[in-house]
Structure 1
Amino acid sequence: MAAVGDEKEQEELIPGLPYEIAELCLLHVPYPYQALSRSVSSTWNRAITHPSFIFSKKTLSRPHLFVLAFHSQTGKIQWQALDPSSGRWFVLPQMPLQENSCPTEFACAALPHQGKLFVMAGGGGGSDTLVYRAATNQWALAAPMPGGRKRGFFAAEGVEGKIVAVGRSGTDIYDPESDTWREGKKQGGELKRYEVVAAGGKVYVSEGWWWPFMYRPRGWVYETEKDTWREMGVGMRDGWSGVSVAVGGRVFVIAEYGDAPVRVYDEEQDTWRYVKGGSFPRDVIKRPFLATGLDNRIYVASYNLNVAIGKMKSDRIQGKGDFEVSVTWEVVEAPSAFREFSPCTCQVLYA
């Protein structure tokens, strides 16, 4: 990465090193310490915040798992991030929200390749929209979510560079580039609760099964380009039982019973198939657990913030035009400092 401007050529980032070599050293400062290094000097700050530096840094970013969790004894809520490659955790700055905010009033979504995390506060916690940028390790206020305190229960997902929030008040789409919300078409009926995943430019919304299982769950599918809703297929909504996650354009569910089998949805057949491969690590991953996906991996955060990472592999079955999915799991156990923490939501960002 070449130095920019005459001023940079006269300044040393690291004494004794050529400017280009010093820049490479700064580029390899890992998250979240690069944001701290801006305070070393005005020279470092100018270098790190320069657009060409930020662009180059994106090519070196790695997936990190961000988990919002609460302590079962104290009620404390906090965000923390895991670097899966090293197993190291980092605690994020506190969100600038009103006191006594409840995590059940939050809807969270991410734009992983932009390194941005979004938190929308509904219910009695206000109408704030917060954005966290991994590049700066800071929270900032964004345009407030429409409806604010009247939204009630809702959920959100990142879809093709935008945030889609779905709830009893309707559908709202946030554009981070213009920092604006717009109203989308409302779904055909309200749900008791909202479980949301996004895959292939579509948002799948289900209320899932709930005790005492007297009623079949309802579900809807939102096509973002057309701004249209349609009823979810019978096979999809009836088989949607467990923790949902989207990976590689497909929707998966991890059962919360038995050995926690993993299934993948076949949209053409409107049915669920069992995923082959290794068994889910139930001995370490305890309920409650949540999941998120990026590229070809599933990230599962559980009680005590132990994490399981599943690498998905999809193969076409010769002669049948069909597919088969398998998974292999690895476990990252959390330090004892995170005992008694339960996950509320989890997202993956490049940082």
Structure 2
Amino acid sequence: MSFSSMSKQQVLEVAGDEVGGGEEVMELIPGLPEEVAEKCLLHLPFLYHRLFRTVSSTWNRFLTVSPAKFPSAAAAAAAVSLSLPFLFAFAFDPASRRLQCQALDPFSRRWLLLPPVPGGAAAAGSFAVVGLPRRGEIYVIGGVEEGGDKAVRSVAVYSAARNGWEEAAGMGTPRGYMAAGEVGGRLVVAGEDGEAEVFDPEEGRWAPAAARRGAAVARYDAAAAGGKLYVTEGWAWPFERAPRGAVYDAASDSWSEMARGMREGWTGSCAVAGGRMYIVAEYGEWRLKRYDEPRDEWRMVAGSGVPPEVRRPHVVSGEVEEVGGGRRRIYVVGAGLDVAIGTVSPSPAIHGGDDERVDWEVVKGPAEFAGLAPCNAQVLYA
């Protein structure tokens, strides 16, 4: 939440609906310039915001202003750059059969247990999870009731600013086993039946989207990048036919067939980092590949595969912003919440072009997480 381009009074006016007019505005941190005080408060761990908001009414208003409410796109973009990327991992506890969510602090490398996910009894893998990194929100969408085949339309949203969950508007149609992603700041959900709908978080409501025509695409993996949602069913044994894939373009509200090279080379789980699409291959050494759109091919990233101590099942996620110097960061969360953090850096190309190299480090999960099986991971800036 960078307010470097805004005065303190402008910041408080953004949250003016919550306070009465005429209340005296106090300094955030007495004796410090506003720009310095703001940057200090921006790096308070989000999990303790409730405590810090009790310090003063001024701190309370500052910490409750969402980047989505900023009057300019530049201020919202600065909010992401000055916030910390927390990794949120969703996993099933084998003892309770309930869905848990933990957040990995990027500084301390410690896991923080978050409030229980509402309606966390849905069958594993049947629901969709979509993060809105710039808003600091995660949506858990639909799913199939545990032990049955009834799909639900419910949606729960987690806010990092509040460190809590609340119910959001339900989908127009109950859905389970769907593809979903953020496209242009909105949530796009596509069912296997070809029907789709879009959620606007500002308006808080769903609207129908163009239906996908042609043969059904059984969801294998999905990714959102460049204003589009990519859905692929991937390769499946036995290899009786080439995989199908579809692409939703938000600008034109239309579907098209996925490019041949993309769908045939999509052989793993996809993460979008710094605007680029990467997959962690399911076979061999779990090598990292990047999609080259002009060539319509997945190009191998130099460096080793995911470290072997990170075991299946695994999920992947990436930071939406570059981390400096053209670098990008990818997370692979494995069994027991062991995490491989891959930093992708530009690398001189042998034959010219835009080559990259990945270097990995591993953050071991606590012993008490040994039985947890991850089902989704998201990166939020908090």
TM over 0.5: same fold?
yes
- Taking a change above 3 Å as real, the CA distance of residues 134 and 323 of structure 1, as seen in their structure-2 partners, is same
Comparing 109-118 and 272-281, the one that deviates more: 272-281
Kindly report which structure 2 residues correspond to 1:100-249, keeping only aligned pairs within 5 A, or say none. 100-123=121-144, 124=150, 126-148=152-174, 151-169=175-193, 170-188=195-213, 189-249=215-275
Cα deviation 1:286-333 (Å, max 9, x = unaligned):
11111111222111111010111111224685985x321221112111
Deviations 1:170-201 (A, max 9, x none): 11111101111111111123122241101111
Please list the CA deviations of residues 53-108 of structure 1 after superposition, one character each: whole Å capped at 9, or x if unmatched. Answer: x97994642000111101234423211111122201111111222x7322322101
Give the deviation of 1:27 after TM superposition: 4.4
Whole-angstrom distance in 1 between the partners of 2:372 and 2:199? 31
TM, length-normalised to structure 2: 0.80
Query: Cα RMSD over matched residues?
Result: 2.9
Match of 1:31 in 2: 46
Determine the C-alpha separation between the residues in 1 that align with 2:297 and 2:38.
Answer: 52
| Aligned equivalent of 2:343, options 296, 311, 315 | 311
Q: Deviations over 1:108-135 (max 9, x none)?
A: 1111111111111133352111111101
Partner AA of 1:305 in structure 2: L
Q: Whose strand proportion is higher, 1 or 2? A: 1
Give 1:262 shift: 1.4
Quote the residue 2:94 is aligned against: 72
Is 1:270 matched up with 2:296? yes
Q: Which residue of 2 aligns with 1:92?
A: 114
Per the alignment, in what secondary structure is the counterpart of residue 114 of structure 1?
Answer: coil
Secondary structure in 1 aligned to 2:267? coil
- Alpha-carbon distance in 2 for matches of 1:243, 1:24: 36
Deviates more, 1:303-312 or 1:325-334: 325-334
Gaps of 5+ in 2: 1-6, 13-20, 145-149, 322-327
> Aligned pairs, how many?
342
- Residue segments in structure 1 that go unaligned for 5+ positions in a row: none
In structure 2, relative to structure 1, the CA distance for the partners of 1:288 and 1:43 (3 Å cut) is: same
Q: Give the structure, 1 or 2, with the largest relative contact order (CA under 8 Å, sep 6 or more).
A: 1
1:160 CA displacement = 1.6
Please, what TM-score do these two structures have when normalized by structure 1? Answer: 0.86
Q: 1:218 to 1:130 in 2, by over 3 A?
A: same
Q: CA deviation at 1:214?
A: 2.5
